């Protein structure tokens, strides 16, 4: 195994970590810091809005993949700050940038040949290439004993799943086109993406108290209290044709058993053709026809004469088990008319790629979010929510204090143990020459500043 990676030992040596903790460096533009205060801030913090709940060396792969909704462990409240420069997100991303810069300087990593899909137990000459590639980014431990370089053994399976997990892929250990493509993305490209996302992190709003963060490319929603993670769950976001917008707003109220007022584009382009083919379609889908506030008889409409330019009515779906919004929606009034909501299509949360909606955000467990937001912040008792939804009656649950919600687009993040990359769903990471120069200048300063103070980082991590 050591011979197999000898040509890339320089990269690995540069990234070698002693046992315990090591000094890594401090944000370049922070000049004076109280070490005790900073240490107390960092210990136990969940990364702002997007921190990983998995410590790579302490949890099994199964544990990291176990649930769609996972309450986070309680952590100590952080020291309040007025900007994102000292946030854990920025600190960890800056550390990742320095490590990737060293990787780039050392020549990056070996490429992996494309070929047939490989699974655990297979034998192939490309298996050795997987090990070489994964050693460089610490997904595979170099000191793992290898009896057969061509065998896809359990140790490599664990490493591949780890790599897939932190690249937003289905963590099944099957090495197909998507996994090979992620392995072959160059160190320079990943470094560019880290710099780009550092800029995005630094401009995110900061909130005290309870707030919701949805990261579109990660397909993930988190509820936080200051920086402490309270709840997280999988989400479905907009397709590339109907991208979910980036928004910072406030959730004012929750609608239980909502009507779904179909957007005109959906009514005309998707429902009308089905309605023309099947006059009973509206009835089967529990939909109503309205003109203003008046409910019309659908059988009296000349649907064959309707088209995109001639559609003088609107459609809405009644509350119920087939309603596209499920049992509830979370409203934060915005010009895009998007919101968080339930869905009867629970199958979607089993997919690794979940850009499936028309722009709104579907939640894997909206009831958990509703109870957390309502608790102590509404006249409605959280224990009554299930009873109300079961009744089928529409009800608006107002929040005494609006809860901030940030819908963000972050394709890379870092914590104390791993660096994570996500698919650029809407192609917003495309290189831009002017922006590239700005990012390079912004992140070129060393992490150890002129005070000599440095930040601690755990020794076992994946990059």
pLDDT tier, 88 (very low <50, low <70, confident <90, very high otherwise): confident
pLDDT tier, 347 (very low <50, low <70, confident <90, very high otherwise): very high
What would the pLDDT profile of 126-147 be if each residue is shown by its tens digit?
Answer: 999 999 999 999 999 988 889 8
Q: Closest Cα partner for 146 from 132, 136, 163? A: 132
The angle, 0 to 180 degrees and rounded to 10, between the axes of the packed helices 187-202 and 88-105 is 160
Domains plus CATH for the chain? Answer: 17-66+79-199+434-458 (1.10.101.10), 261-317 (no CATH)
User: Helix, strand or coil for residue 454?
Assistant: coil
pLDDT tier, 84 (very low <50, low <70, confident <90, very high otherwise): low
DSSP secondary structure letter of residue 448: S
The angle, 0 to 180 degrees and rounded to 10, between the axes of the packed helices 187-202 and 433-443 is 80
Where is pLDDT greater, at 60 or 347? 347
Q: What's the CA gap between 339 and 362, in Å, rounded?
A: 9
Q: What does pTM read for this prediction?
A: 0.75
Where is pLDDT greater, at 165 or 39? 165
| Burial class (CB within 10 angstroms; exposed 0-12, middle 13-18, buried 19+) of 218 | buried
Residue 170 predicted with pLDDT over 60:
yes
Summary count for the chain: helices (H), strands (E): 14, 17
What would the pLDDT profile of 204-243 be if each residue is shown by its tens digit?
Answer: 998 999 999 999 999 999 999 998 999 999 999 999 999 9
User: Helix, strand or coil for residue 70?
Assistant: coil
Q: Closest Cα partner for 54 from 365, 351, 420, 457? A: 420
Helix (H) or strand (E) holding 222: strand 220-225
Share of the chain above pLDDT 70, in %: 75
Q: What is the dihedral of CA 151, 155, 161, 163, to 10 degrees?
A: -100
What would the pLDDT profile of 99-124 be if each residue is shown by its tens digit?
Answer: 999 999 999 999 999 999 999 999 99
pLDDT of residue 86: 75
Residue 373 predicted with pLDDT over 80:
yes
Q: What's the CA gap between 185 and 80, in Å, rounded?
A: 37
CA angle (374, 376, 378) in 5-degree steps: 50
Report, as an integer, the average pLDDT of 359-385. 96
DSSP secondary structure letter of residue 151: B
Q: What's the CA gap between 149 and 162, in Å, rounded?
A: 20
Q: What's the CA gap between 49 and 267, in Å, rounded?
A: 35
């Amino acid at each position: 195994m050591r011979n197999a990676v000898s040509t890339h030992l320089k990269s690995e040596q540069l990234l070698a970590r002693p046992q315990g903790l090591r000094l890594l460096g401090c944000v370049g533009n922070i000049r004076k810091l109280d070490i005790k205060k900073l240490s107390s801030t960092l210990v136990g913090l969940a990364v702002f809005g997007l921190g990983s709940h998995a410590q790579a060396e302490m949890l099994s792969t199964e544990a990291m993949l176990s649930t769609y909704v996972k309450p986070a462990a309680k952590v100590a409240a952080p020291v309040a700050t007025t900007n994102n420069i000292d946030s854990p997100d920025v600190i960890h991303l800056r550390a990742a940038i320095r490590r990737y810069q060293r990787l780039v300087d050392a020549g990056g990593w070996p490429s992996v040949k494309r070929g047939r899909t490989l699974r655990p137990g297979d034998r192939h000459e490309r298996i050795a290439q997987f090990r070489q590639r994964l050693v460089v980014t610490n997904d595979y431990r170099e000191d793992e004993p290898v009896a057969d370089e061509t065998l896809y053994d359990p140790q490599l399976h664990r490493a591949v799943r780890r790599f897939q997990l932190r690249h937003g892929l289905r963590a099944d250990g099957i090495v197909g086109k998507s996994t090979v493509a992620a392995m072959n993305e160059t160190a320079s490209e990943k470094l560019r993406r880290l710099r780009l996302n550092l800029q995005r992190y630094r401009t995110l709003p900061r909130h005290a108290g309870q707030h919701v963060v949805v990261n579109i490319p990660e397909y993930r929603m988190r509820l936080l209290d200051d920086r402490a993670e309270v709840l997280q769950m999988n989400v479905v976001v907009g397709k590339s044709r109907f991208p979910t917008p980036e928004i910072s707003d406030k959730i004012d109220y929750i609608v239980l058993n909502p009507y779904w007022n179909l957007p005109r584009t959906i009514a005309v382009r998707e429902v009308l053709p089905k309605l023309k083919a099947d006059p009973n379609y509206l009835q089967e889908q529990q939909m109503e026809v309205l003109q203003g506030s008046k409910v019309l008889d659908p059988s009296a409409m000349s649907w064959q004469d309707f088209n995109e330019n001639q559609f003088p009515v609107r459609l809405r779906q009644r509350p119920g088990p087939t309603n596209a919004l499920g049992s509830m929606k979370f409203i934060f009034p915005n010009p895009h008319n998007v919101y968080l909501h339930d869905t009867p299509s629970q199958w979607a949360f089993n997919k690794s790629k979940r850009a499936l909606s028309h722009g709104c955000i579907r939640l894997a467990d909206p009831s958990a979010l509703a109870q957390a937001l309502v608790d102590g912040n509404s006249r409605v008792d959280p224990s009554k929510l299930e009873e109300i939804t079961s009744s089928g009656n529409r009800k608006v649950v107002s929040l005494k204090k609006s809860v901030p919600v940030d819908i963000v687009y972050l394709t890379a993040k870092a914590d104390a143990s791993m660096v994570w990359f996500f698919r650029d769903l809407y192609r917003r990471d495309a290189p831009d020459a002017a922006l590239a120069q700005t990012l390079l200048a912004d992140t070129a300063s060393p992490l150890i500043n002129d005070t000599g103070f440095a930040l601690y980082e755990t020794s076992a991590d994946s990059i």
